Amino acid sequence: MSVKLVNITKVFTDHDNKLKEFTAVNNVNMEINEGEMVTLLGPSGCGKTTTLRIISGFENQTSGDVYIDDELVNTLPANKRNTSMVFQSYAIFPHLSVRQNIGFGLELKGFGKQRIADEVDKMMETMGLGPLGNRRPSQLSGGQQQRVALARAIVNKPRVLLFDEPLSNLDAKLREQMRIEIRRIQKQFNITSIYVTHDQIEAMTVSDRIVVMDKGVIQQMDTPFEIYSRPKNRFVADFIGRANFISAKALSVGETARISLNGRSYDFPSFNPDMKAGASCEIVIRPEGLVLGRTGDDAMLHGTITQAVYLGSTMEYEVAVEGMENPIQAISYNPVKEGFLQVGEQAAISFDVVSAH
Ligand code: ADP
Ligand code: MG
C-alpha cells in the first residue's frame, strides 16, 4: 500500500469562540495502491484540501494515522515525507527560468550541475517544454506554466504526487487537454497520485478510482464505472452526472432484485445489497438510459413532454410523470428534428433494467 489513511478526523476550532468546533474530515479510511491515481471528488468545503494537506503533512490530523509506503508518518514533518503538491496557482518562481524552476528541487538536494542538466533536459522533453527552457513564467501560457509546475514536482521523484484543483485557472478547452496529459504523464512515470477536484468529468478522466466525499465523510470509493453506474446512495448518484430517481418497491432480493414499478415487476441485476425485501426503494437511471416513444402499452412510465431542447447531436427532454415530484430527464441521440417528440405530446418511457441500478 502506498498511502493509507486510518480513521482520519480533523476538527477545526474557531479562533474567536473556542467552544465552536467544526469537523472538516470525519473518520476517513482509504488505501491507495502504488502507481494508482485516486481522485477526491466532492462539493466545495467537503474536506478534500484538508485531507490532502494531512497526507502532505501541512496540516495535522486531530486523530487517526497516515501511512506512506507502509511507514507511519504522523510525526514526520512535511519536508521529510517526500510528497509533491501541484496547485492551481502553479507556485512556480517568477524570477527563475523554466530550466531553473524545474531543477530547483534537485539543486536543493545538492545534485551536481551535469546531473541536474540531464534530468531537466529529460523532463522538458517528456513534458513538451523543449524549446522553452530559458523563458520566464510570465512569458508562458497558463497550460505551459502548469506543465512546468508538474515537471518540477515529478523531477524530484516524490513518493506521492498531490494535485489540488490544478486546472481551475485554465479555460475549458485547455483544461480538457491538460486532464488527458496529466493522466498520460502519471501513468508514464507510474507515480502514486491523489487528485482533488470538484469537477466530476475531470475525476472520471484522470482516475483509477474516485472517492466521493460530502461533509467530511466518504460516500463511496470505487472505479469511475462503479461510481457512475452503481452509486451507493442518492448523494453519489446526484453528484456524478444527471440521475432520475423513480420510486418503486423491492419484492425480493437475491441474485437479482425483483422490483415492482407501476403494477409490473422487473428483475434488476444491479442493486444495493443492503436493500430489504418489502421495502420501498428508488431506481436510479441516467437520462441516456431511457427510451422515449409515442406509444407503448408495455412502457414502464407514461408522461407529457414539458421541455425539448435541440442541441444538434442530442435532443434533451423533460417529461412530467404523474405522481413524480421532479420531471424525468431523457436524451435522444442523433435527432432528426421533425421526427422527434415535441412539447405537449404524450411519451411512453422505458429502459433496459441492465442500465438501471
Ligand atoms: P474543500 O477542499 O473540499 O473545498 P476544505 O478541506 O478546504 O474543503 O475545507 C473543509 C472545511 O473545513 C470547510 O468548511 C472549511 O471552511 C473548513 N476549514 C478549512 N481550513 C480551516 C481552518 N484552518 N480553520 C477553520 N476551518 C477550516
Ligand atoms: Mg479545496
129 and 248 both lie in a single domain: no
pLDDT digits (tens, 9 = 90+) for 180-215: 999 999 999 999 999 999 999 999 999 999 999 999
Burial of 194 (0-12, 13-18, 19+ CB in 10 A): buried
Choose among 243, 225, 226: nearest CA to 235.
243
pLDDT digits (tens, 9 = 90+) for 227-275: 999 999 999 999 998 999 999 999 999 999 999 999 999 999 999 988 9
Q: Which of 203, 229, 255 is the last residue of a domain?
A: 229
Q: Is the CB of 53 under 6 A from ligand 1?
A: no
The alpha carbon of 76 and the centre of ligand 2 are apart by a number of angstroms equal to 23
- 1, pLDDT greater than 80: no
Give helix 113-126 / helix 142-154 axis angle, nearest 10°: 130
- State in Å: Cα 164 to ligand 2 middle: 7
Instruction: Answer yes or no: do 171 and 273 share one domain.
Output: no
Distances (CA, A) of 167 to 23, 43, 111, 182, 332: 27, 16, 31, 10, 32
pLDDT at 338 over 70: no
User: What's the rounded mean pLDDT across residues 140-162?
Assistant: 91
66 within some domain: yes
Same domain (yes/no): 188, 284:
no
- Of 49, 56, 219, the one to substitute when testing ligand 1's pocket (max ligand atoms within 8 A of C-beta) is 49
Q: Is residue 237 part of a domain?
A: no
Q: Kindly state if the Cβ of 24 falls inside 6 Å of ligand 1.
A: yes
Which three cell numbers, joined as nine digits, stand for 143? Answer: 497550460
What share of residues in the chain are helix, strand, coil (percent, to 5)?
30, 35, 35
> Is residue 285 situated within a structural domain?
yes
36-57 mean pLDDT? 97
pLDDT at 337: 62
Count of domains for the chain: 2
Tell me: do 71 and 116 sit in the same domain: yes
CB atoms within 10 A of CB 186: 22
Let me know if residue 236 belongs to a domain: no
250 in a structural domain: yes
Q: Who has greater pLDDT, 246 or 90?
A: 246
Domain boundary pick from 229, 256, 285: 229
Atom of ligand 1 nearest to the CA of 12: 25
- The answer on pLDDT for 171 being more than 90 is no
Residue 253 and residue 339 share a domain: yes
Q: Are strands 37-41 and 209-214 parallel, antiparallel or unpaired?
A: parallel
Cβ–ligand 1 contact at 212 (below 6 Å): no
- Please tell me whether residues 43 and 180 are part of one structural domain: yes
Contact predicate 267/258, CB 8 Å: yes
Q: Is the ipTM of this complex over 0.90?
A: yes
Q: Report which of residues 225 and 20 the model is more confident about.
A: 225
Q: Quick one: average pLDDT of 100-122?
A: 93
**Residue 234: inside a domain, yes or no?**
no
Same-domain status, 288 and 143: no
CA distance 305 to 62: 52
Mean pLDDT computed over 327-353: 87
159 CB-near residues (< 8 Å, 6+ apart): 2, 68, 69, 81, 82, 83, 192
Do residues 123 and 213 share a domain?
yes
CATH number where 297 lies: 2.40.50.140
Same-domain status, 204 and 310 = no
**Domain limits for position 330:** 242-355
Domain boundary among 188, 205, 229: 229
In 3-state terms, what secondary structure has residue 188? helix
* Helix runs in 113-170, H state only: 113-126, 142-154
